[in-house]
Chains A and B, each alone.
Chain A
């Protein structure tokens, strides 16, 4: 799927630029966005997901320009799945309702169809027993798997994941990353912001390095990790290696 930015930038206050104007154009299947904290990764992902508007510039997803008015954004968001770092599930709804209610209300599924689709997904992600539980009664890893199930339930054309595992313990991280890899094998296209460099390197075709609001490097993951060109990326990867076993 083609994704294109033109002069895309974001700032909240006049003197504080969060994303410098950037241009980008490429065919995206699976893309990892990496970079130091505060570099603007979440901001960029939210703009791509139509959750916040850029300050300047234009954005095309799948050759359609994303227009920044509420009505067309709402249509656009229906075609995208979004997974947040944490707290993205509706806390007053059971796991099942978190998936089924949007299917029914937003995507026009019948009540029975939305529930059976939700159950099918929960079962697939090993959550059959937990269908009736509220998020607070689920572990972090289970919550994220429900969140992923909800995001893919209506077969979105693109899945956006913002650090889906960074609030999780290592064992849960693996179970969530496995789910995402499985989705990839089924042909799901996604952009993931992640600190899991192993996943970015081996499970994503492309990688982008975002640092202090600028897109410093972009390319094939294998290439980008093996031969970082900018000093910033070299330093960033070096820091990560410091504590590796």
Chain B
């Protein structure tokens, strides 16, 4: 009886660090996987679809290119949104009112409206009015403008959580403003924001899929095009999900690990 319980429950080591034993973890993971497979299988049977992934071989070069495009879109968007995020976080605490309001309005507008609406709207501005005809570049710009607002909030939050006592200590040991930034503010902000920023990168990867609506040829758009030809909708989207997981899972794992690593410092 006790053994059975150990297989399902996390043993509470007198309130000590909760440990999950390896066999128990493996067993429960298998159970979860079995449940999912059963669920899919049952659903597929009722609509009488037989899975057939053979088309993947035929389209592998297009899929691979789409995969690379998504990766590229996400990486470039990460860089630009970081830049935008840092600037608007700094701008929101600027003493120049115009800059401060400009940045707050930007952040509030972006965070308060759906991405899909922004994509359509900005595509007219960026694409048509500014004449950016390259869809990849337009996609990066639109996505960066969107994610930048979320990154701005992450950074602003960590700036606000810097304690006055740390800054006072920096002055007391004789640090100049520059040294205070370099040795106190930046290191503390990086440890505080890195887990959240990594998590945001996973969001960027997922959000980039919406760029398919303006026909940026990334992973989702590629799959949409393929499924429009061969009507293997289910297989296409299932495989699409797996490909996104290949990108986002490692990123989330890194984010969790960073979080655990920096937890005790704060």
What CA separation (Å) do A106 and B177 show in the bound complex?
12
18 A-B pairs (CB sep. < 8 Å): A77-B172, A77-B174, A78-B174, A82-B173, A84-B168, A87-B163, A87-B165, A88-B165, A88-B168, A89-B169, A90-B166, A91-B266, A102-B174, A105-B179, A106-B174, A106-B175, A106-B179, A107-B174
B171 at interface by CB-CB < 8 Å:
yes
- Shortest B168–chain A CB gap in Å is 6
- Shortest B17–chain A CB gap in Å is 16
| Residues of B close to A78: CB separation below 8 A | 174
Residue of A nearest to B170 (CB): A90
Taken residue by residue from 47 to 90, chain A's Cβ proximity to chain B (1 for < 8 Å, 0 otherwise) reads as 00101000000000000000000000010011010101011111
B54 at interface by CB-CB < 8 Å:
no
What CA separation (Å) do A136 and B188 show in the bound complex?
14
Please determine whether A91 and B265 come into contact, CB atoms closer than 8 angstroms: yes
Taken residue by residue from 91 to 112, chain A's Cβ proximity to chain B (1 for < 8 Å, 0 otherwise) reads as 1100000000110011100000
What CA separation (Å) do A51 and B174 show in the bound complex?
10
What CA separation (Å) do A150 and B169 show in the bound complex?
11
B209 at interface by CB-CB < 8 Å:
no
B176 at interface by CB-CB < 8 Å:
yes
A197 at interface by CB-CB < 8 Å:
no
Residue of B nearest to A91 (CB): B265
| Residues of B close to A1: CB separation below 8 A | none
| Residues of B close to A88: CB separation below 8 A | 165, 168-169, 172
Return the contact of B173 from the options A91, A134, A137, A150 (Cβ within 8 A): A150
Please determine whether A92 and B265 come into contact, CB atoms closer than 8 angstroms: yes
Taken residue by residue from 13 to 51, chain B's Cβ proximity to chain A (1 for < 8 Å, 0 otherwise) reads as 000000000000000000000000000000000000000
What CA separation (Å) do A10 and B166 show in the bound complex?
23
What CA separation (Å) do A77 and B187 show in the bound complex?
23
Q: Count of B residues near A, CB < 8 Å?
A: 21
Please determine whether A134 and B265 come into contact, CB atoms closer than 8 angstroms: yes
The 9 A-B pairs with the shortest beta carbon distances in the complex, nearest first, are A82-B172, A102-B173, A106-B174, A78-B174, A87-B165, A88-B169, A77-B174, A92-B187, A92-B188
A sample of 9 more A-B contacts (CB under 8 A), given A90-B170, A105-B179, A106-B174, is A51-B172, A74-B176, A77-B172, A87-B166, A90-B169, A91-B166, A91-B188, A91-B265, A92-B187
Using a CB–CB distance below 8 Å, which chain B residues touch chain A?
A: 163, 165-166, 168-176, 179, 183-184, 187-188, 191, 264-266
Residue of B nearest to A99 (CB): B173
| Residues of B close to A74: CB separation below 8 A | 174, 176
Please determine whether A136 and B264 come into contact, CB atoms closer than 8 angstroms: yes
- Shortest B257–chain A CB gap in Å is 18
What CA separation (Å) do A244 and B170 show in the bound complex?
38
Residue of B nearest to A75 (CB): B174
What CA separation (Å) do A49 and B171 show in the bound complex?
10
Most buried by B among A49, A80, A92, A101: A92
- Shortest B184–chain A CB gap in Å is 6
Residue of B nearest to A85 (CB): B165
| Residues of A close to B166: CB separation below 8 A | 87, 90-91
- Shortest A144–chain B CB gap in Å is 13
Please determine whether A51 and B171 come into contact, CB atoms closer than 8 angstroms: yes
| Residues of B close to A89: CB separation below 8 A | 169
Residue of A nearest to B183 (CB): A101
- Shortest B195–chain A CB gap in Å is 15
Return the contact of B169 from the options A80, A84, A105, A106 (Cβ within 8 A): A84
Most buried by A among B166, B170, B171, B188: B171
| Residues of A close to B265: CB separation below 8 A | 91-92, 134, 136
What CA separation (Å) do A106 and B173 show in the bound complex?
8
- Shortest B145–chain A CB gap in Å is 32
| Residues of B close to A107: CB separation below 8 A | 174
| Residues of A close to B183: CB separation below 8 A | 90, 101, 105
What CA separation (Å) do A84 and B166 show in the bound complex?
11
| Residues of B close to A137: CB separation below 8 A | 264
Most buried by A among B165, B168, B173, B184: B173
Please determine whether B171 and A77 come into contact, CB atoms closer than 8 angstroms: yes
What CA separation (Å) do A74 and B187 show in the bound complex?
22
